Structure 1
């Protein structure tokens, strides 16, 4: 009989260490009052993140690995929710962000295969793993006029790239070659678009999935499925339009060209109209209704701490100590 040990073996510990690129004390968390924290937790960020996901699978390694291992076909909603959970933890999770980065590296380590050419590929391929995080920056930048009603300033774009690099380290991306400046990122992105991205079947499937009615849960009785499917198809049309238009609309035109997607002036106007209404709604709705719960509570926690610090300066003890 083989003994089972509660403690990990030395080999297992070494294997875990090999996956980790940055020590915990080297990692900077996302500031709670940053532009990144202001935007990432919005519900309207989801389709923007969808555009990033499509660009990710246009990298051949990511596309092939997702094609083999992802559950996006059988559990699209669950996959989207879990992906959003992970992104929210990177931004608002505090120390949990670091733990999530470790978890992701370990989760992706077994995802290895041989592609159609017989070449061994891995989800932890440094170039591909870095590209996953890098895609968030151009999609968020392009989406600024929709979400904010204006372009980002130079200072804001610089801040967003700095936070993008912070997230890359949080999720244990090897940073060699990762762009440090806006100029470097532009060259980096151009190189991917012009030389590395492809019209991967998974990317096309994801786009088509956005325009399809959501699958009927298996828990629905067989006799009721036709009726439920019809209702779901009708009710989902507004969300499908919003999701598709935002996803495709924030893509670089060259990315749309690789995918063979058209984009008309009418679609652009429709997209802008939708987000104009959303911006108005967001100005009138309470934050609790516009942010994911983790983002909302993290922002309120930060506000409460800042209010305490402000009151602290008015205390008698503070005044006395300052004399």
Structure 2
């Protein structure tokens, strides 16, 4: 869904007072994502973008989300800007500290006006509880499916539990109504199967997003008409490798049943190409400095966390004062 600029954190009031009836989780109920967690490590990397893209496509396969995004989102006219603003928001959830709480409340209130009548004349809202839950839920299966690409193997049982725990933490941060939200991986599996079998559709917005990944980025209107054909060709050539990585990752991490709903094929060759690309990326991550592989907020948050850990290590190595034990 569309992400706007941040607004100052607002006071929590009693339910029903002003706009605060939109707030589902009080600050005391919310736990922040640990800076050393798998979620924090993976979300901060540039390679998170196409995995996030897979989640976004799955989100708009829910009819309510698809309709609302189709009417209100700027993904058609400003796809790059929408992606940047979305990742800005996600990074604040994970790395923002107290700002994560403010961002979650801002998002909840920002989505309140996004209401409309669908093609059947039924009133729908971006704050539909089932739809709002699904937005955050999609991150869990896409992250697990991306494990072999991101870390070179499947996440083990303990890691899966940690990722699920942080998914619930993020759900509370962004003010998802938690009634009915899966409380265990076993419950999530049933929840996910139900969505695939009974709720997701090949929404036109999802198909537009997939098609958009194969297209060159839009050329600014300021480019003269005579130069536009050459500019479009140059943009297509320049962005082709990134577009290919984005498309293959987005489609590759989807559950095969989701691809089937969308009518997308997936070949052995595409799977090999996807794995080859991410092998190169994983090797690059081992030698490149973090400043070149992490989003700026993530990079500085990780440096801050590393500095704190170093201080604790020094603290445990010796005492600042030597106090002689009392002799009785």
Same topology, TM > 0.5 = yes
Residue in structure 2 matched with residue 4 of structure 1 by the alignment = none
Distance 1:319 1:56, change over 3 A: farther
Q: What secondary structure does 1:113 align onto? A: strand
Contact 1:72–1:79, Cα closer than 8 Å, also in 2: yes
Residue in structure 1 matched with residue 45 of structure 2 by the alignment = 42
1:90, distance to aligned residue in structure 2 (A)? 0.4
Whole-Å Cα distance in 2 between the matches of residues 228 and 314 of structure 1?
Answer: 60
Q: Stretches of 4+ moved more than 4 A in 1?
A: 10-13
Contact 1:139–1:250, Cα closer than 8 Å, also in 2: yes
Give the one of 288, 292, 315 matched to 1:289.
Answer: 292
TM-score (norm 1): 0.94
Aligned residues: 316
1:13, distance to aligned residue in structure 2 (A)? 8.0
Distance 1:143 1:118, change over 3 A: same
Residue in structure 1 matched with residue 104 of structure 2 by the alignment = 101
1:316, distance to aligned residue in structure 2 (A)? 3.7
Q: Is residue 148 of structure 1 aligned with residue 147 of structure 2? A: no
Q: Is residue 184 of structure 1 aligned with residue 187 of structure 2? A: yes
Distance 1:140 1:109, change over 3 A: same
Distance 1:202 1:101, change over 3 A: same
Whole-Å Cα distance in 1 between the matches of residues 271 and 286 of structure 2?
Answer: 23
Give the one of 39, 60, 63 matched to 1:60.
Answer: 63
What aligned pairs does 1:59-138 form with structure 2 within 5 A after superposition? 59-138=62-141
Q: Is residue 265 of structure 1 aligned with residue 251 of structure 2? A: no
1:91, distance to aligned residue in structure 2 (A)? 0.4
Contact 2:15–2:21, Cα closer than 8 Å, also in 1: no
Contact 2:196–2:258, Cα closer than 8 Å, also in 1: yes
Segments of structure 1 that go 5 or more residues without pairing to the other structure are 1-6
1:82, distance to aligned residue in structure 2 (A)? 0.4
Give CA-to-partner distance per residue, 1:264-302, whole Å, 9 cap, x none.
011001100110111111111111111000001001101
Contact 1:313–1:319, Cα closer than 8 Å, also in 2: no
Q: RMSD between aligned alpha carbons?
A: 1.9
Q: Is residue 307 of structure 1 aligned with residue 310 of structure 2? A: yes
1:320, distance to aligned residue in structure 2 (A)? 3.4
Give CA-to-partner distance per residue, 1:56-79, whole Å, 9 cap, x none.
000000000000000000000000
Moved more, 232-241 or 250-259: 232-241
Give CA-to-partner distance per residue, 1:153-186, whole Å, 9 cap, x none.
0000001000000000000000011111110010
Per residue, is there more helix in 1 or in 2? 1
Distance 1:112 1:310, change over 3 A: same
Whole-Å Cα distance in 1 between the matches of residues 41 and 325 of structure 2?
Answer: 35
1:15, distance to aligned residue in structure 2 (A)? 3.1
1:86, distance to aligned residue in structure 2 (A)? 0.6
TM-score (norm 2): 0.93
Contact 1:242–1:271, Cα closer than 8 Å, also in 2: yes
Q: What secondary structure does 2:320 align onto? A: helix
What aligned pairs does 1:224-243 form with structure 2 within 5 A after superposition? 224-243=227-246
